[in-house]
A and B are shown apart, each in its own frame.
Chain A
């Protein structure tokens, strides 16, 4: 009763029971927020992370389901591949020790080769009826499912750790990066479908341009999983390189470029690399940009090898990129990206005319995944 009489007067007003109750309520809320504000904020964040974690779990399970169904449909295995897929989703790769970084590129290259061979062998066992193209597509599907599984597990790890320790900072860090993590997971989810059906993806912008340039010309194989065609362009001889399609495959453009440079004893006027480039927010999908350097992503092994080959013979290296975001890069190719191939070809021809002389030899590399793109 004392509180009812005294508290409202602190605000200099009131008198009736309603304003008394409201005043007390205000005090209670004020005191609760004063002592438990951070905790309430943390619970709100935990709820938010929990919601995203449910979505990640759903995406991951859908990915696993799609992978198993595709293996059953294409590979027609005698036994159920579920257990093997589950085992493979937990597969990991240990990167080489970098305390002494000399020679690390070749160590990493070797480990990636072993991983790729192992994955292909597993797919062959799981899907015995599938051909080479389908094996590549299934390998990509499995890799996307593995990535989704990994993302889910990492987010779940920090979520549980944050809940266990009730540490605002663990939860806050997770909540802050969550929109980007979710974007990546959704991109992988749509990639899974594209890989399962063998549809070209946004990352295939480079191989698409290379395929258009080399279509109708004889091709030959290069190490590893790459092909090359000798094409006359603007009075010059262009060696067009791309990963062999239409199976899901990025090849090893580093080794392919090195092989062509060595075959020609370094007498190459320029190297032009075409790749999908990550766009910044505000930039348009399918926008074409030009620059200098080895336009190639991935772990860096191929970029290192290309740079090594061009530096050895002092060959100028140019890059043309098609702008797209991470979601576009791994999901079915957007029309804007497909349409940009003509613009890229024009740019490449400009570079050839401006940077080389008639009769010169040059290399054009279409970097990216060749899934759904023949030659």
Chain B
């Protein structure tokens, strides 16, 4: 099963092969263009230069797109925090969530007043860019 899911996130070998071939050909085209320019065939050099750059641009673009798609497959678990409070002295502590935590769970006594502390909140913090869309 894990093999199956990792195959979904991996970039296709076939696609990668095509990208690499096009990339190699684009480098060859650029080298030929330099050669043609030295020989004095400016028009051919120009064509090869354009072809080389377009091919290189396309292959790099396809490669980045595939990597982006593979990265977007992963599901990131958000960081969940637990707030612990002492109702008597208002001592507050925030730590990472641990399995077994729940809101209003009694915990160890407070470091300051020895009263039992409780979990008052469990939440995740989401930092998102606020797009206003102008409306």
A residues lining the B interface (CB < 8 Å): 51, 54-55, 57-59, 61-62, 64-65, 186, 189-190, 193, 197-200, 208, 211, 215, 245-246, 282, 331-335, 337-338, 372-375
Contacts and interface: CB of A to CB of B under 8 A. Distances in A.
B47 to A, nearest CB: 10
Q: Which 3 residue pairs of A and B lie closest in terms of their CB atoms, listed nearest first? A: A246-B102, A374-B104, A58-B8
B72 interface: yes
B87 to A, nearest CB: 9
A199 B4 contact: no
B51 to A, nearest CB: 14
Nearest to B47: A18
B122 A61 contact: no
A372 B78 contact: no
Interface string B101-135: 11111000000000000000111111000000101
Given A61-B8, A65-B2, A337-B123, A373 B75 contact: no
B13 interface: no
17 contacts: A55-B72, A65-B5, A190-B77, A193-B77, A198-B101, A199-B97, A245-B102, A282-B135, A332-B78, A332-B124, A333-B124, A335-B125, A338-B121, A338-B123, A372-B101, A373-B103, A375-B104
B75 A211 contact: no
B75 A246 contact: no
Contacts, number: 89
A373 to B, nearest CB: 5
A197 B99 CA distance: 6
A197 B98 CA distance: 8
Contacts of A245: 102-103
Interface residues of B, number: 29
B15 interface: no
Nearest to B128: A285
A120 B73 CA distance: 32
A82 to B, nearest CB: 9
B123 A333 contact: yes
Contacts of B80: 197, 199, 332
Given A190-B77, A332-B78, 15 more contacts: A57-B8, A58-B5, A58-B73, A186-B75, A193-B77, A197-B80, A200-B103, A200-B122, A332-B122, A332-B123, A332-B124, A333-B124, A335-B124, A335-B126, A373-B103
B2 A372 contact: no
Mostly, the A contact residues are: helix
B21 to A, nearest CB: 21
B100 interface: yes
A54 B73 contact: yes
B75 A334 contact: no
Interface string B68-97: 010011010110100000000000000001
B41 to A, nearest CB: 16
Contacts of A211: 103-104
B8 A374 contact: no
Given A198-B100, A199-B80, A332-B123, A61 B75 contact: no
Given A197-B97, A337-B123, A61 B1 contact: yes
A245 B77 CA distance: 23
Contacts of A62: 5, 75
B31 to A, nearest CB: 24
A200 B81 CA distance: 11
